[in-house]
């Protein structure tokens, strides 16, 4: 199949802090030979992703749209219902254009990262709680709407804790290169479901 996959997201898709060449998107492209377009932008909220999708992406001849976001909404303490609406709207727009949407489950936070420092302004617990509710909603939404959901959360956690394994993290939120490679492996294992 000739698939063109747009990967819409934030810094986790971009590959921060290493850059797109070290992102999970690039690792996946090298592993599979698929045509993937990295459309991750550092700092983007789900609203930014929606606005960008409407302006810049709809004209591209994509077959699939991989959507991974929400961390910046949580980081800024934005309304979770608004983030949910933004994701639903992106999915609707994609389907209207015959593009198959695929959702990614937001990655965990890490209390003890391998390198970077702290940057979460209002406490990790509040952000974790926001993301937990968002993930639960996304599981329900994807199941009800018949959308493939790729779980990037569980493989990056210390088992039984709900917190990121420091082995995979650069800082409290962003992954190191080992973490991005693991994300690519997870996406590759899910390929049969979403292609």
CATH of 4-108+123-149+176-194, one of 3.40.50.970, 3.40.50.1110, 1.10.260.40, 3.40.50.300: 3.40.50.1110
Given a cut of 50, the residues of the chain with pLDDT beneath it are none
Identify the H or E element spanning 6: strand 4-9
pTM here is: 0.94
- Those residues with Cβ within 8 angstroms of residue 142's Cβ, 6 or more apart along the chain or in another chain: 103, 148, 149
- Any idea where the domains of the chain sit in the sequence? 4-108+123-149+176-194
| Mean pLDDT value across the chain | 93
* Cα dihedral value 183, 62, 46, 165, nearest 10: 0
1-43 residue pLDDT tens: 588 999 999 999 999 999 999 999 999 999 999 999 999 999 9
| pLDDT for the residue numbered 57 | 77
Predicted pLDDT of residue 119: 67
| CA quadruple 174, 178, 181, 183: dihedral, nearest 10 | -50
């Amino acid at each position: 199949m000739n698939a063109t996959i747009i990967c819409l997201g934030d810094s986790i898709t971009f590959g921060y802090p290493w850059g797109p060449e070290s992102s999970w998107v690039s690792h996946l492209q090298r592993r599979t030979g698929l045509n993937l377009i990295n459309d991750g932008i550092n700092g983007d909220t789900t609203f930014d992703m929606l606005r960008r999708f409407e302006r810049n992406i709809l004209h591209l001849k994509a077959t699939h749209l991989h959507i991974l976001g929400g961390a910046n909404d949580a980081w800024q303490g934005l309304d979770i219902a608004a983030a949910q609406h933004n994701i639903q709207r992106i999915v609707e727009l994609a389907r209207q254009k015959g593009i198959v949407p695929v959702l990614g489950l937001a990655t965990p936070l890490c209390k003890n990262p391998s390198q970077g420092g702290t940057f979460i302004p209002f406490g990790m617990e509040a952000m974790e709680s926001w993301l937990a509710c968002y993930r639960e909603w996304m599981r329900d939404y994807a199941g009800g709407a018949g959308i493939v959901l790729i779980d990037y959360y569980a493989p990056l956690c210390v088992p039984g804790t709900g917190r990121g394994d420091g082995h995979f993290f650069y800082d409290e939120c962003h992954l190191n290169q080992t973490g991005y490679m693991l994300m690519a492996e997870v996406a590759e294992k899910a390929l049969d479901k979403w292609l």
